Amino acid sequence: MSKVIKILGTGCPKCKTMTSLVTEVVNENNIDASIEKVEDIMEIMTYNVMSTPALVVDDVITIKGRIPSKNEILALLN
Amino acid sequence: MFDWIQDLADWTVYKVLELDKGAHLAEALNFFIYDTIKILLLLFVIIFFMGIVNSYFPIDKVKNYLSRNKLYGLEYLMASLFGVVTPFCSCSSVPLFIGFVRGGIPLGVTFAFLITSPLVNEVAIGLFIGLFGLKTTLIYVTSGILLGTISGYILQKLKLESYLTPWVKELLANAQKEQDAFIADKKALKDRLPVIWDEVLTILKGVIPYVIVGIAIGGLMHGYIPEGFFEKYMAKDNFFAVPIATILAVPMYSNASGILPVAQVLVAKGIPLGTAIAFMMGVVGLSLPEAMLLKKVMTLKLIAIFFGVVTLCIIISGYLFNILL
């Protein structure tokens, strides 16, 4: 089943880094997933995170407030 | 403790590059080498240490603690202290603000956190120790914490809830002390280290360019501007120096990293320390980008009051430093 990945962040440099890393990992490993950037603060707050960027995989918050390594992302997506 | 770095700088400049002792270029270069090595080392140590502390006190834990415990007035100080150990990113200030409001934490306490978090952070502390020594660092850190505490308290007394944006007011009305289950990480330090290490590298990578450019400019000024040069313009008895320095600083946005090495040289060349600290607090603590972000949760009026109170407190502490130091 296709995974739904969401990246929560108001558009700071860290959030952009996270988005490009996740995109790279997905492409390099041919993972069946959709990537969505959530920039609206009200929507971000529905996830109850207080530090961005946050990585949400299938509606589960997996990482918040820091940029993960590519290996870490890969492990989270598998 | 840092003698060996000075030896290394001396050796590089006078022996390897064979520059004349006392020449402007030699002095500037010597200063640059010494300061860069010393500061990067200190930054590394402090960021690493703060990373460990933060790993055990993540923001969610802080929020739960503040919203669950009755602290009889100490909550402002606690929020301010938590602000010190939490790494601050201006882009996180809005989610953080909302999280606190939703947890039923009073507005003033949230402000105390928001003020201290950027003001006293790991990068500023590392740079301060390297540039100004331990004593000045302690004064800066203590006053930063007090500044957050007092400003937070004042802001609470002003009863500003009605100046929040409507959707935040709604959140405030539904605020609950209840806590979303926070699953505490029971990981051992050994397992936390890789993540902390990554963070240290990310932060260092982010600030190194600013630090190096800052020290380079500082080094040049150090070598070419005569001692006491600024005393003429910014003497201690110049009443307007502190407010002007602070007000100039507020719209500026640099990570502390770029501005501190320059400020250190200014102090060495005659600007009173209090004036310089007020300037640095203005640069580090308040910035226009942060104000723009806060517009999502606060009306302009509230942002203006927030910045106004903090600016005023910074100016007062600038005066205090000039009198006390």
**B239 Cα distance to chain centroid:** 25
Q: Which pairing describes strands A60-64 and A33-38: parallel, antiparallel, or unpaired?
A: unpaired
pLDDT of residue B153: 94
Interface contact flag, B99 A50, Cβ < 8 Å: yes
pLDDT of residue B177: 55
> Residue B180: which of A10, A48, A66 has the nearest Cβ?
A48
By CB atoms closer than 10 A (0-12, 13-18, 19+), residue B271 is buried
Task: Give the nearest chain A residue to B102 (CA atoms).
Answer: A48
By CB atoms closer than 10 A (0-12, 13-18, 19+), residue B158 is middle
CA distance B83 to B85: 6
CA distance B86 to B57: 8
Residue ranges of chain B whose pLDDT lies below 70: 89-91, 176-186, 228-237, 253-256
Q: Which of residues 49-88 of B touch A (CB under 8 A)?
A: 58-60, 63
Residue A15 among the catalytic residues: yes
pLDDT of residue B157: 92
Is the whole model's pTM more than 0.90, yes or no? no
CA distance B134 to A31: 51
Interface contact flag, B95 A66, Cβ < 8 Å: no
What confidence tens digit (pLDDT) does each residue in A7-51 have?
988 777 778 888 898 999 888 988 888 888 888 877 887 887 877
CA distance B10 to B26: 9
Q: Which residues in A lie closer than 8 A to residue B102 (C-beta atoms)?
A: 45
- Kindly tell me if the per-residue pLDDT of A62 is higher than 80: yes
- Please report, for residues B22, B35, B226, B312, the alpha-carbon distance to residue B229 in angstroms, rounded to integers and kept in the order given: 18, 21, 6, 28
Interface contact flag, B94 A51, Cβ < 8 Å: no
Residue A71 among the catalytic residues: no
- Domain ranges for chain B, please list them: 21-324
Q: Is the ipTM of this complex over 0.85?
A: no
Both tokens of B251, joined, read 């719209």
CA distance B130 to B132: 6
Q: Which of residues 240-299 of B touch A (CB under 8 A)?
A: 293, 296-297
Do B110 and B62 meet the contact criterion of CB atoms below 8 Å apart? Answer: no
CATH number for the region A3-77 comes to 3.40.30.10
Q: Which residues in B lie closer than 8 A to residue A52 (C-beta atoms)?
A: 89, 91-92, 95
- What number of C-beta contacts closer than 8 Å exist between A and B? 56
Residue of A5, A7, A8, A15 with catalytic role? A15
pLDDT of residue B296: 82
- CB contact, 8 Å: A41 with chain B? yes
Nearest to B129 by CA among B116, B120, B138: B138
- Domain ranges for chain A, please list them: 3-77
pLDDT of residue B73: 79
pLDDT of residue B112: 93
